């Protein structure tokens, strides 16, 4: 009996929940004049267009060296932005973590900086920095750098907080100084997670770098934008394909590194 009541109750909950979702979906599409049926109906058309226009032919392959050069520029910029951001984030992370933080004021400062850097999207950062630095790779680098600092600081604070306090206590009892404790007990414990986050950040930055490049006119994003606006869709296909391929390769490499260090 009891079981039956519970099952009925569960059923009613599911039905109510489904109705709410359907109503919400209908209302929002109605308000925005978006027709779902129409959207789905045009899907085959879109796919057809993609296959008829976005393919790589022999002519576009001639542009490959130039595209690869731009791609390398983007990848290197992403890595540079991540590594420099890492240095800053380690200090902010140590300041911001409860385990290693020395004063609440510094901790608040670190978390505040991280929060601002993280909560403004990278694209917005790129547009803001564009005004003061102009269309060049420095702008793109800075946008990625700021975004990375925000994210990595947050991740490092979490990693350091998770590290066990027991070794810290033991080192404190031997008379070790603050920095000795940080370097000998805290960092060794959270290094694998930190490296994992750094690799993740490099992957993310390569993806964002494409978008940022469209805005700042640098790297692979600029090539994409250029070919797109000159209606050279075959070249666009090649650029997209090379980005996808490089992201996958980077992901595979970092997965392998993760496996080795963890």
Partner 1 sequence: MSLVKVEKLGKSYNSQTKVLKDISFEVGSGEFVSIIGPSGAGKSTLLRCINRMVEIDEGKVIFDDLDVGSLNKKELRKMRTNIGMIFQHYNLVPRLSVIENVLHGRLGYKTTLQGVFNKFTEAEKEHAFFLLKKLGIEDHAYKRCDQLSGGQQQRVGIARSLIQEPKIVLCDEPIASLDPNASKVIMDYLKSITMELNITCIVNLHQVEIARNYSDRIIGLSKGGIVFDGPSYRLATDNTDEIYGTKTVETRKLVTV
Q: Is 183 in the site for partner 1 (CB under 8 A)?
A: yes
Closest to partner 1 by CB, 79 vs 190, is 190
Q: Is 102 in the site for partner 1 (CB under 8 A)?
A: no
The two tokens of residue 71 are: 């791609």
Q: Among candidates 63, 70, 84, 68, which has minimal Cα distance to 217?
A: 70
The span of 16-24, 92-100, 147-155, 188-196 binding partner 1 (CB under 8 A) equals 188-196
Are the C-beta atoms of residues 89 and 149 closer than 8 Å to each other?
yes
Q: Is 103 in the site for partner 1 (CB under 8 A)?
A: no
The two tokens of residue 49 are: 């267009």
Q: Is 258 in the site for partner 1 (CB under 8 A)?
A: no
The pattern of x and - marking residues 30 through 49 that bind partner 1 according to CB under 8 A reads: --------------------
Q: Is 207 in the site for partner 1 (CB under 8 A)?
A: no
Q: Is 191 in the site for partner 1 (CB under 8 A)?
A: yes
Rounded-to-10 torsion of CA 13, 17, 23, 24: 150
Residues in region 139-178 near partner 1 by CB under 8 A: 166-167, 169-178
Cα-based distances in Å from 124 to 24, 113, 119, 153, 212? 30, 16, 10, 19, 9
CA–CA dist 252, 141 (Å, integer)? 24
Cα-based distances in Å from 177 to 39, 94, 107, 182? 64, 15, 20, 9
The span of 71-79, 138-146, 182-190, 221-229 binding partner 1 (CB under 8 A) equals 182-190
Q: Is 192 in the site for partner 1 (CB under 8 A)?
A: yes
Q: By CB under 8 A, name the binding residues for partner 1.
A: 166-167, 169-180, 183-185, 188-189, 191-192
């Amino acid at each position: 009996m009891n079981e039956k009541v519970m099952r009925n109750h569960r059923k009613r909950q599911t039905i109510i929940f489904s109705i709410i979702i359907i109503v919400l979906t209908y209302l929002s599409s109605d308000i925005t004049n978006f027709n779902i049926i129409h959207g789905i109906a045009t899907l085959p058309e879109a796919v057809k267009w993609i296959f008829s226009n976005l393919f790589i032919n022999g002519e576009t392959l001639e542009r490959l060296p130039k595209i690869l050069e731009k791609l390398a520029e983007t990848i290197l910029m992403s890595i540079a932005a991540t590594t420099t951001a890492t240095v800053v984030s380690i200090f902010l992370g140590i300041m911001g973590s409860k385990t290693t933080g020395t004063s609440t004021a510094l901790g608040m400062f670190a978390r505040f900086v991280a929060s601002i850097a993280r909560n403004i999207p990278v694209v917005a950062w790129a547009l803001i920095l564009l005004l003061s630095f102009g269309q060049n790779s420095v702008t793109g680098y800075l946008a990625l750098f700021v975004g990375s600092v925000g994210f990595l600081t947050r991740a490092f604070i979490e990693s350091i907080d998770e590290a066990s306090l027991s070794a810290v206590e033991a080192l404190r009892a031997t008379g070790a100084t603050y920095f000795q404790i940080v370097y000998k007990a805290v960092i060794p414990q959270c290094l694998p997670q930190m490296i994992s986050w750094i690799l993740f950040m490099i992957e993310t930055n390569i993806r964002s770098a494409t978008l940022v490049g469209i805005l700042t006119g640098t790297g692979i994003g600029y090539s994409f934008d250029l070919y797109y606006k000159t209606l050279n869709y075959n070249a666009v296909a090649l650029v997209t394909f090379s980005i996808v391929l490089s992201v996958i390769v980077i992901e595979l490499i970092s997965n392998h590194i993760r496996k080795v260090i963890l």
